[in-house]
Amino acid sequence: MNKTTMKVLISLTMTVAMAFIMLFPSNETTASANSSKYDSIYNVANSKLGTRYVYGSTGPSSFDCSGFVRYIFKHGANKHLPRTAQSQYNTTKKISKKQLKKGDLVFIGASTKSIYHVGMYIGNGEMIDAQNRGVVKESIHAPWWHVVGYTRAI
């Protein structure tokens, strides 16, 4: 094989390798990007702790639960979610409790067809959500909650 052919083959191989890396990033790269998005969303959510609850409100000075989740994802990750908790559940990727990670959504209701509350999981069995006490951090295992599902929005 002459030098020109060898250079072309090496160049072609490098181009294919780079395209493959761009199309299929490693889990580390994806995990890092998701962690960064979570941090951004969490920072927006955390900045709203104590903000008052108003049914139907979408922020920034008051929220209901789905308005809060919609706001923090829009401002923290430029991710647009539907307006209601039920619609947010219906349009995001369903996951199991075992797959639950920081940044995932926790849905409360009578069933998956009757969801009335949503919060964002922040780790250690806790979520941040907007409810009658305003925006708070609390256990997802509180006796007044009936968790019916989990989803991943990012």
pLDDT, tens digit, 9 for 90 and up, residues 102-126: 999 999 999 999 999 999 999 999 9
Does the residue 117 lie in any domain?
yes
Alpha carbon 125 to chain centroid distance?
16
In the set 64, 65, 75, 104, the catalytic residue is 65
Lowest average pLDDT, out of 4-18, 43-57, 81-95, 138-152, goes to: 4-18
129 is catalytic: yes
Tell whether the model's pLDDT for residue 95 goes beyond 70. yes
Report, as an integer, the average pLDDT of 28-57.
86
Question: Domain containing 101: what range?
Answer: 35-152
141 is catalytic: no
Report, as an integer, the average pLDDT of 41-68.
97
Q: Take residue 111 and report the two structure tokens written for it.
A: 């069933």
pLDDT score, position 34: 66
Distance CA 113, CA 132 (A): 23
pLDDT score, position 35: 76
Does the residue 2 lie in any domain?
no
pLDDT score, position 64: 98
In the set 39, 64, 117, 141, the catalytic residue is 117
Alpha carbon 146 to chain centroid distance?
20
Does the residue 127 lie in any domain?
yes
**CATH code (residue 111):** 3.90.1720.10
Q: Is the peptide bond before 143 cis (omega within 30 degrees of 0)?
A: no
Stronger pLDDT, 20 or 25, i.e. the higher one: 25
Does the residue 119 lie in any domain?
yes
In the set 64, 75, 104, 129, the catalytic residue is 129
Count of domains forming the chain: 1
- pTM to 2 decimal places: 0.78
pLDDT, tens digit, 9 for 90 and up, residues 123-138: 999 999 999 999 999 9
Does the residue 133 lie in any domain?
yes
SS3 64: coil
